[in-house]
Structure 1
Amino acid sequence: MVKFEQIKGFVFDLDGVIASTSIYHAKAWHQLADELGVTWTDELGDQLKGVSRMDSLELILKAGGKENDYTQEEKVKYATKKNENYVNLLSNLTDDDILPGMKDFIEDLAAHNYLISLASASKNAPKVLEALNLDKYFKERVDPATLKHGKPDPEIYVRGAEILNLKPEECIGVEDAAAGVQSINAANETSIGIGDPEVLKAADINFNDTSEVTLENIKKAMA
Structure 2
Amino acid sequence: MKYNAFIFDMDGTLVHNMPIHNQAWSDTLAEAGIQIDIEQFNRATTGKKNSEILRLVLGEHVTDEQIAYWSERKEVLYRQRFACCREPLPGLLDLLEQAHALRLPMAVATAAPPENVSFILDELDLRRHFKAVVGAHDVKNGKPDPEIFLKAAAALGVKPESCLVFEDALAGIEAARRAGMDAVMLCTTIEAHEVQGQPHVVRAVPDFTHLDLPTLLG
TM over 0.5: yes
Partner of 1:50: 47
Partner of 2:192: 197
Q: TM-score, normalised by structure 1?
A: 0.84
Distance in 2 (CA, whole Å) between partners of 1:18 and 1:35 is 29
Deviation readout 1:36-77 (Å, 9 max, x if unpaired): 233332221233322211122234x2xxxx526743432332
* Amino acid in structure 1 at the alignment position of 2:106: I
Partner of 1:213: 211
Distance in 2 (CA, whole Å) between partners of 1:153 and 1:58 is 17
Distance in 1 (CA, whole Å) between partners of 2:43 and 2:182 is 23
Contact kept, 8 Å, 1:93 with 1:131, in 2: the verdict is no
> Alpha-carbon deviation of 1:183?
0.7
User: Is the partner of 1:198 in helix, strand or coil?
Assistant: helix
Matched, 1:86 2:78: yes
> Alpha-carbon deviation of 1:90?
4.0
Equivalent residue for 1:119, pick from 109, 115, 130: 109
User: Is the partner of 1:113 in helix, strand or coil?
Assistant: coil
* Amino acid in structure 2 at the alignment position of 1:126: S
Partner of 2:34: 38
User: Over aligned residue pairs, what C-alpha RMSD do you find?
Assistant: 2.0
> Alpha-carbon deviation of 1:121?
0.9
> Alpha-carbon deviation of 1:23?
2.8
Deviation readout 1:125-153 (Å, 9 max, x if unpaired): 12211122212102411142121111000
Deviation readout 1:88-116 (Å, 9 max, x if unpaired): 2343254xx21111111111111111110
Contact kept, 8 Å, 1:90 with 1:128, in 2: the verdict is no
Taking only the aligned residue pairs, the percentage that are identical comes to: 25
Cα distance change, pair 88–114 in 1 and its aligned pair in 2 (3 A): same
The gaps in structure 2 that reach 5 residues or longer are: none
Distance in 2 (CA, whole Å) between partners of 1:136 and 1:68 is 39
Q: TM-score, normalised by structure 2?
A: 0.86
* Amino acid in structure 1 at the alignment position of 2:194: V
- 4+ residue segments displaced more than 3 Å: 68-72
Equivalent residue for 1:176, pick from 155, 168, 182: 168
Between the two proteins, the alignment pairs up a number of residues equal to 209
